[in-house]
Homo-oligomer: A and B are copies of this chain.
Amino acid sequence: MKTLRLNSNDKAVLLGSRFFETLSAAASDAILEGAVVTNHEEHDILFQQDEPVDSVFCVLSGLVRVYRLGKDGREADIAVFPKGELFGENAMFLGNRATANAQAIGSSTIARLDSRNLRKLAEQYPDIAQALMELLCRHGQMAEDCLAEDRLLTAPQRVASYILGHCPDGSTTFSFRLPFQKNVLAGKLGLAPEALSRAFSALRRSGVTVKGRMIEIHDRQALERF
């Protein structure tokens, strides 16, 4: 695995990400100082539970799945990160040990930001500390949202909720393309692929059309009621 320096496109993705949007150029440069990039094939493991990890990661292209392993080898997805998202920041606060596994979905480019450096900079620049707190908070919320949905909603309801999350507020009719295979969506929603498929077909009766990765909504209301 070759590790490269950031090229200008990599840098643009990083600086365009939510994490960097509130940071001064000086703070951003200081963080990116010494950042490296690696390329990964589908299914490559980025880090594993309990392993030492001394970076915070950012998806520059592709997709990353973060998951835990059960005793029996089954996997539970914690989150899926698209291009422009930071992840793996938890290890930074827990003795540099990963608390989950991370795997590339499809071929992906990943940036690594040195976490020692980042921690030091957070003491110097209050903005960086603030950005880190917001990152941690968002990720915490994501997990809480998932937990609440798992406990409160049925499979079709979770799928409806996912779809609605991609549908702008005003429109009653809307269509979009899934950003990944149904496979991956199923994992993210805590479902077996078969259950996702059945959920889609249950939603068909409420005006949802699915063709390949294209999703069409004909009646937002009906979906919200579901």
CB distance from A21 to the nearest CB of B (A): 15
The reply to whether A93 and B134 form a contact with Cβ atoms under 8 Å apart is yes
Which residues in window 113-133 of A have CB below 8 A to B? 122-124, 126, 129-130, 132-133
A74 at the interface (CB under 8 A from B): yes
A29 at the interface (CB under 8 A from B): no
- The docked-state distance in angstroms from the alpha carbon of A126 to that of B132 is 13
Determine, out of A3-11, A35-43, A57-65, A149-157, the stretch whose residues face the partner at the interface: A149-157
The reply to whether A140 and B150 form a contact with Cβ atoms under 8 Å apart is no
Given the complex, which residues of B lie within 8 Å of A126, measured CB to CB? 122-124, 129
Closest B residue by C-beta to A224: B71
Given the complex, which residues of B lie within 8 Å of A143, measured CB to CB? 140, 143-144, 146-147
Best-buried of A130, A132, A143 by chain B (most CB within 10 Å)? A143
A136 at the interface (CB under 8 A from B): yes
- The docked-state distance in angstroms from the alpha carbon of A152 to that of B143 is 15
Chain A interface residue bracket vs B: 35 or more
Which residues in window 155-193 of A have CB below 8 A to B? 190
A218 at the interface (CB under 8 A from B): no
The reply to whether A190 and B151 form a contact with Cβ atoms under 8 Å apart is yes
Name the contact of A153 in the complex, choosing from B70, B132, B133 (C-beta under 8 A): B70
Name the contact of A137 in the complex, choosing from B76, B93, B130, B134 (C-beta under 8 A): B93
A1 at the interface (CB under 8 A from B): no
Given the complex, which residues of B lie within 8 Å of A153, measured CB to CB? 70
Excluding A93-B134, A129-B130, A133-B136, 18 further A-B contacts by CB distance (< 8 Å) are A68-B152, A70-B152, A78-B147, A90-B137, A94-B141, A100-B144, A122-B130, A123-B129, A129-B129, A132-B133, A136-B137, A136-B140, A139-B140, A140-B140, A143-B143, A146-B147, A147-B147, A147-B150
**Selected A-B contacts with CB under 8 Å, 17 pairs:** A70-B152, A76-B147, A76-B148, A76-B151, A78-B147, A93-B134, A94-B137, A100-B144, A122-B130, A122-B133, A123-B126, A123-B129, A129-B129, A129-B130, A136-B136, A140-B140, A147-B150
